[in-house]
Structure 1
Amino acid sequence: MYTLITVDDEKLVKRSMAALIEEGDCGFTLVGEAKNGEEGLTLACNVQPDLIITDIRMPKLDGLAFIERALHEVPNCSFIVISGYDEFSYAQRALRYGVSDFLLKPIHPEQFLEALQKVKNRLDEQQEHSSNRDLKLSLIQHYGDVFVEELWLLNEDSCYQKVNEFHQQLGEDIASTHLQYYDDLLRYTIERLNKRGTELSQYSFRDEIRKEGSLAEALKEVFKNILHHLKVKRNVGRRTHILEAVEYIQTHFHHEDISLQSVADRVQMSPAYFSMEFKKEMGITFKQYVTQKRMNRARQLLEDPTYKTYEVAFAIGYGDYPHFTKTFKKCMGLTPTEYRKRLGAH
């Protein structure tokens, strides 16, 4: 249900309009009345109506001046003008302000309700268009974020599967509006990838459409090119980043707070991608590598009888001694105490 207010200095006219609005099942609710333009302006500011029905000639502030000022306060509001004067100049000026209709007094019920229906139809269309736009913008943002992650992780099959999902959401209609949504999705995705340092240039989606003929296939082709770019770029830079990470781990493995996240952040990679590339380069996982470094250092320290076993744990980054003991036994087959006894260093 939409809202409206009436602005008129004639009580009888306002009463007549109120009755028609209530009885006419016109899709509007009357939420306020004013007797002049100044009161109408205050009321409009307070209730923010969808429609204002106003007289032309009123005391203090005439109808056209009122409309001009009201448009600044309620910019999306519609207006219907009523007048006791059949003056073409008024109608012309009213239409310049975007007024929906110009009615003459005395008000004829059929004309009045017809004017309300026209406004309602337009508001319905605007609401539907706005809802569709919001839905599709939401889809663009959602799938754009998904594509950023899938492309970043080089998940080609998953990326193409998501293209099919997005395609089903929007449909195959190759209309200008749909093309614009695909353009917007691609622009959104590339902008966010570039924030991660990919240095991608903008692709022409419309050129791909001309080659592929299908929205989904065109988008897949663009993503295929992006994936190729990322693979080439990473093959060059991957080893440098992983070696930098290894050097950092070698000098910081004894810090209790060292983590996959912290090291990935240091080399400016996402944790998931860093984890995958680290194992690819080193042959073991990040956690296994850190544990390996810690256990090697633990063995060295256990050879020194001046260190108590719990001090060894703290020295290599374990704040929890039982966890250190459990990890050491898993790696070495002996507890730290058993290992030390085996060495004869107790």
Structure 2
Amino acid sequence: MDVMKQILVVDDEPMIRAGLTKLIKHYSQGVHAYAVPNGAEAVAEIRKQKPDMVFTDIRMPKMDGLELCRHIAEMNLNIRTVVISGYGDFTYAQKCLTYGVKEYLLKPVTELELYPVLDRLLYQEKVHSLSVSAYSEWLEQAETAIWSADFEGIDRLLLRWSGDDLCGALDTEQLEQTIADVLKALVKKLNARELYQFADTPPPKSAKNRDELFKHLESELIHWCGQLAQWRGGNQKSVFEEAKSYIDDHIAEEISLEAVAERVGLAPTYFSYFFKKMTNETFVQYRMRKRIEMAKRLLELPHYKIVDVGMEIGYQNYPHFSKIFKKMTGISPTEYRQMLGIK
């Protein structure tokens, strides 16, 4: 008779804690899942119950996920640990890898990501799994390459799949599942940018060997790059129209060139060069001109105080606003109003 597997869920968010526990219980009748809200309570439960697996969040009160992973490693109980976290916690989660963490999953966790992990860590005794740190690094680099339409970078990333750090000892079935997991994780990262919506497709049933599985991975990455090009209009002009629109919509905010470049998926130096080439202005000059154009429109409205106009377009300091306005127009805001006959 098989011994029931014990799984502990650690997360301070009640809905996520309950949802993950429920998913695990639905996985198999041979699994008992229970949960606690923080690392401190988890340590006590682990000492008492000695679970087979622990799923832990990163950011929690009393004791965070990193500290919990350290405690689990020091207990030396052969507990398999899985880290779950939000998109922005990747760098922090990486630190857990030194404590023997087996997997890293992004929220929200669904059965499509969860159940293969349970299969591997609970029931496959001799699994040659990929390096979690190499896997996480590859995902970060792949996201950047796709967003920047860096086809050479994608080629370099694909070559790494023949190395031991990503899939060297995996059999065909394990490789198929690993590639499926990688593509799902990458879709989550790309969609987290909240600009375009990507979707992945599972490897075709006809893909029965490693070369065909690698080909599927390659086709998905290239397909996403092609989608980006189509969404952006397929040329540099549409990318910069998108950039200008974003700047115009946030004209009163202190957005940086780097932030806009990231928004449209280009390297800052590349973005700066082509922005000037297509507008005949630098990023700073363009933003300043648009602010002053907006200031002129507001100054034409008599009920607006001049000092409020400056603040409305992003200049909190009135003397600075007046200086910039005069530099751009040759006259002060007050003189501009007088010229319009507004007192």
**TM-score normalised by the chain length of structure 1:** 0.42
Larger relative helix fraction: 1
Structure whose CA Rg is larger: 1
TM-score by length of 2: 0.42
